[in-house]
Amino acid sequence: MARDSKTPTSKSGTTAVSLSVNGVDRKLVVGQHESIADVLRDRLDLRGTKIGCNSGECGACTVLLDGVAVCSCVTLAATVSESSVVTVEGLAREGELQELQQAFMEHGAFQCGFCTSGMLMSAYALLSQQRKPSDEAIRTALQGNICRCTGYVQILNAVRDAAARS
Ligand code: FES
Ligand code: FES
């Protein structure tokens, strides 16, 4: 996935990257240490992606990168040019919540909501691969996402229910 060997870096240490973000083509010049999370939040004003630990431990920053759930806080933007990024803002369509988002609401699968976008993106990646995952598969998909307030039962129920509706 890393493309740093192919992506030209200027003498100033910046790199021109092209990304598709929620289906919109974006061209940016990024610093060598800028993460995808930094770019999303600070450059593109997509603040649904949260930064918690900023070290790949909590999953709050999870986005889809070429369809795979990744921690955007530890993925350097300069290494992923020509990739497709989907964030939580990309889930709803024309004002309609994605069924997974609807299920989270109906099951009360969040309280403060800080973990929610990361949970949604990990679950969305799973359901994109497996329409009817087992509970074990759901737990495995979400094992990198930490919630400090809701508890995991409602989250598991929401993902299971969203899968059942599809
Ligand atoms: S903020 Fe990225 S894993 Fe915690
Ligand atoms: S709802 Fe608060 S951290 Fe999960």
Please tell me the predicted confidence (pLDDT) of residue 5: 46
What does the pLDDT read at residue 20?
98
Residue 8 is predicted with a pLDDT of 65
What is the average per-residue pLDDT within 108-132? 97
**What is the CATH number assigned to the segment(s) 99-165?**
1.10.150.120
Q: Which CATH code for domain 14-88?
A: 3.10.20.30
What average pLDDT does this structure show over 128-147?
97
CB distance 100 to 159 below 8 Å: yes
Task: Please report the pLDDT score of residue 166 as a whole number.
Answer: 80
The one-letter amino acid code at 126 reads L
Which of residues 13 and 60 earns the better pLDDT score? 60
What is the mean predicted confidence (pLDDT) over 142-161? 95
Extents of the domains making up the chain:
14-88, 99-165
Best mutation site among 36, 47, 49, 58 for ligand 1 pocket (most ligand atoms within 8 Å of CB): 58
Separation of 142 CA from ligand 1 center, angstroms? Answer: 13
Written in H, E and C, the secondary structure of 82-105 is CEEEECHHHCCECCECCHHHHHHH
In the reported structure, the alpha carbon of residue 96 is separated from the centroid of ligand 1 by a whole-number distance in angstroms of: 27
Confidence of residue 2 (pLDDT cuts 50, 70, 90): very low
